[in-house]
């Protein structure tokens, strides 16, 4: 630009005097120098600029790589995360073309891991997770890939001959997984539950395959087993349960639940002595959903609390009305294992006794034997409190769960069933307890039980569960 500005002087004057020529030469020299200096500066600037750009590009690439790494890896264990393991699984699926090979995907959940890491604190928790990641990686890395998909879930997949993809083989693989992790010199024992799914048997893409392994994990946890292979039928059940959950909530809101009563007879006198309240859910089309189906759904969700509240409120109101009307029976109501884990139940029951004006000794609470097995200490604590409040209690389904008396009848001994019944009745009587026999469907069974000294009988032989009005009529006729 400087050189160009000098040019007009050249065109303005046509006189080439020596002085002027000197000036002109000087000016041209000056302009050339300036231009050269400018070029030098420009070249230097370009060089610097290129260097900067190159450095920044490298930095940007590094950031990008880091971001890509972070997007595909778990920051604690450095193992692939969900997206990362899905990418690897997708590649493995694409490469698995042999007919006699399958890919096994295992969703491994470390039980109680979150509680343990909670105790260890954040730093200790991360350390434990890294130790777990390393141990699992060392074990699984020799034949497959490992990733961490959730805080307490690891996913492994590997290729294996089709005939090796049996639950037995997989169990053996899992048995080899290390379970003890040294932390600050003291070993931490972890249990794991695993759900597995197979390519191509259960799904043909990584996303679905992982989802099905996760589904199988839920199935394993739900049935308290260490490992489950994905099962389509269980999936259907799962879907049905989920649907039921929504419908049950709706049914409660829309008051479509009913409380029916099944008579309990004094076997010796043949008179009615009590009744068991049984929940009924009537669908809009008039059909019933059996409680055996919807109560587990309520139990596995928060719904069990409002459901029990509904049952108990309805129950106490009905008992108060019938006792006031002279139906002086003992009325039983079922409590689920989940209810016993809820300390509020004591307060709720006390409040209901008062508001309904019912005496606790007229009420029998049925607690299932299996809830004792699940949490014996909690069960005993609760039973003691309920007893102190004056409630009678009965152990429901006795002999079918924890005590496994039902297995005894499989002994290769004649008449073992009758012997078990007789001894159980004697045992109960020796302990000062009364025995209720449920599920009496024939006069013959009723007679045998009566002869064995059984106190109370309940079953279709006497009556099914009845709506309140029908029950009251039945009770008046057999009182
Ligand atoms: P459960 O407490 O053992 O109740 C007895 C079940 O046996 C009832 O089934 C009853 O209809 C059935 N039953 C009675 N007599 C006979 C018979 O002679 N033959 C046969 N085959 N069955 C008979 P239901 O009403 O389907 O209830 C199933 C279970 O659901 C109950 O077993 C109880 O554990 C639970 N349940 C019912 N209502 C409630 C409730 O309000 N709350 C809670 N927590 N559980 C409930
Ligand atoms: Mg019962």
- In tens, the pLDDT along 303-318 reads 999 999 999 999 999 9
Nearest-angstrom CA–CA distance, 478 and 239: 45
Token couple for 349: 């029951």
SS3 assignment, position 400 = coil
Residue closest to 315 by CA, chosen among 327, 332, 299, 330: 332
Mean pLDDT of the chain: 89
Give the distance (Å) from ligand 2 centre to CA of residue 404: 18
Residues 6+ apart with CB under 8 A from 176: 139
Closest atom of ligand 1 relative to the 339 alpha carbon: 44
Query: Per-residue pLDDT averaged across 384-410, rounded?
Result: 80
List b or e across 59-77, with b for residues whose CB sees 16 or more CB atoms inside 10 angstroms: eeeeeeeeeeeeebbbebb
Is the predicted pLDDT of residue 446 greater than 90, yes or no? yes
Question: Which tops the pLDDT comparison, 264 or 28?
Answer: 264
Question: Which tops the pLDDT comparison, 369 or 412?
Answer: 369
- In tens, the pLDDT along 3-52 reads 445 445 555 555 668 888 888 888 899 999 999 999 999 999 999 999 99
Q: Name the closest-CA residue to atom 12, ligand 1.
A: 439
The three-point CA angle 296-300-304 to 5° equals 75
Among 260, 334, 337, 371, the mutation site with the greatest number of ligand 1 atoms within 8 A of its Cβ is 334
Which of 101-110, 133-142, 290-299, 405-414 has the lowest average pLDDT? 405-414
Is the CB–ligand 1 distance for residue 438 below 6 Å? yes
pLDDT the model gives residue 12: 53
Is the CB–ligand 1 distance for residue 446 below 6 Å? no
Nearest-angstrom CA–CA distance, 123 and 106: 28
pLDDT the model gives residue 94: 95
Query: Per-residue pLDDT averaged across 359-373, rounded?
Result: 89
Nearest-angstrom CA–CA distance, 18 and 376: 121
Give the distance (Å) from ligand 2 centre to CA of residue 354: 24
- In tens, the pLDDT along 66-80 reads 888 888 999 999 999
Q: Any idea how long the chain is? A: 479
Residue 425: which pLDDT band, with cuts at 50, 70 and 90?
very high
Is the predicted pLDDT of residue 258 greater than 60, yes or no? yes
Token couple for 169: 């083989």
Q: Name the closest-CA residue to atom 8, ligand 1.
A: 278
pLDDT the model gives residue 176: 82
Is the CB–ligand 1 distance for residue 65 below 6 Å? no
Among 278, 318, 319, 459, the mutation site with the greatest number of ligand 1 atoms within 8 A of its Cβ is 278
DSSP 198-244: EETTT-SSHHHHHHHHHHHHHHHHHTT-SEEE--HHHHHHHHHHHHH
Residue 2: which pLDDT band, with cuts at 50, 70 and 90?
very low
Query: Per-residue pLDDT averaged across 103-109, rounded?
Result: 96
DSSP 164-205: G-SHHHHHHHHHTS--EEEETTEEEE-EEEEEEEEETTT-SS
Q: What does DSSP say about strands 272-282 and 288-289: parallel, antiparallel, or unpaired? A: antiparallel
Closest atom of ligand 1 relative to the 368 alpha carbon: 34
Is the CB–ligand 1 distance for residue 208 below 6 Å? no
Is the predicted pLDDT of residue 364 greater than 50, yes or no? yes
Nearest-angstrom CA–CA distance, 42 and 363: 99
Is the predicted pLDDT of residue 265 greater than 80, yes or no? yes
Residue 149: which pLDDT band, with cuts at 50, 70 and 90?
very high
Q: Name the closest-CA residue to atom 41, ligand 1.
A: 279
pLDDT the model gives residue 411: 63
Query: Per-residue pLDDT averaged across 83-109, rounded?
Result: 94
Is the CB–ligand 1 distance for residue 407 below 6 Å? no
Residue 404: which pLDDT band, with cuts at 50, 70 and 90?
low
pTM: 0.66
- In tens, the pLDDT along 197-253 reads 999 999 999 999 999 999 999 989 888 889 999 998 877 877 888 888 899 999 998
pLDDT the model gives residue 375: 79
Among 263, 295, 441, the mutation site with the greatest number of ligand 1 atoms within 8 A of its Cβ is 295
Most confident of 168-182, 227-241, 319-333: 319-333
Residue 372: which pLDDT band, with cuts at 50, 70 and 90?
confident
CB 433 within 8 A of CB 416: no
Query: Per-residue pLDDT averaged across 415-423, rounded?
Result: 83
């Amino acid at each position: 630009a400087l050189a160009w500005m000098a040019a007009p002087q050249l065109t303005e004057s046509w006189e080439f005097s020596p002085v002027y020529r000197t000036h002109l030469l000087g000016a041209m020299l000056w302009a050339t120098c300036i231009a050269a200096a400018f070029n030098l500066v420009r070249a230097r600037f370009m060089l610097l600029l290129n260097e900067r750009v190159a450095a920044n590009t490298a930095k940007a690439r590094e950031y990008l790589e880091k971001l890509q790494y972070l997007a595909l890896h778990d920051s604690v264990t450095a193992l692939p995360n969900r997206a990362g393991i899905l990418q690897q699984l997708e590649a493995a699926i694409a490469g698995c073309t042999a007919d006699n090979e399958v890919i096994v995907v295992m969703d491994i959940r470390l039980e109680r891991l979150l509680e343990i890491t909670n105790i260890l604190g954040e730093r200790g928790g991360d350390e434990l997770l890294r130790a777990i990641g390393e141990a699992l990686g060392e074990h699984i890395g020799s034949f497959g890939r490992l990733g961490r998909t959730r805080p307490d879930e690891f996913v492994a997949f590997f290729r294996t001959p089709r005939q090796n993809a049996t639950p037995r083989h997989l169990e053996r693989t899992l048995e080899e997984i290390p379970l003890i992790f040294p932390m600050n010199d003291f070993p931490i024992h972890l249990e794991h539950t695993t759900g597995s799914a197979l390519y191509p048997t259960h799904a043909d893409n990584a996303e679905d395959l992982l989802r099905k392994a996760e589904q199988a994990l839920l199935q394993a946890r739900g049935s308290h087993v260490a490992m489950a292979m994905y099962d389509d039928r269980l999936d259907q059940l799962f879907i049905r349960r989920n649907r039921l959950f929504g419908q049950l909530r709706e049914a409660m809101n829309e008051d479509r639940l009913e409380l029916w009563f099944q008579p309990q007879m004094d076997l010796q006198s043949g008179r009615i002595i009590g009744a068991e309240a049984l929940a009924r859910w009537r669908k809009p089309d008039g059909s019933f959903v059996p409680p055996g189906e919807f109560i587990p759904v309520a139990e596995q969700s928060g719904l069990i609390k409002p459901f029990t509240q509904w049952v108990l409120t309805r129950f106490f109101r009905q008992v108060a009305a019938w006792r006031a009307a002279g139906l002086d029976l003992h009325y039983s109501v079922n409590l689920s294992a989940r209810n016993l884990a809820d300390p509020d139940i004591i307060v709720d029951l006390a409040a209901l006794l008062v508001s309904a004006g019912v005496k606790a000794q007229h009420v029998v609470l049925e607690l299932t034997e299996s809830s004792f097995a699940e949490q014996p200490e909690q069960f005993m604590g609760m039973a003691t409190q309920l007893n102190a409040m004056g409630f009678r209690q009965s152990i429901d389904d006795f002999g079918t769960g924890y005590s496994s008396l039902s297995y005894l009848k499989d002994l290769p001994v004649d008449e073992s069933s009758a012997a078990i019944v007789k001894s159980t009745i004697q045992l109960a009587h020796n302990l000062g307890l009364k025995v209720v026999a449920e599920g009496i469907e024939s006069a013959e069974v009723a007679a045998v039980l009566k002869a064995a000294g059984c106190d109370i009988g309940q079953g279709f032989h006497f009556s099914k569960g009845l709506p309140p009005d029908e029950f009251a009529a039945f009770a008046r006729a057999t009182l």
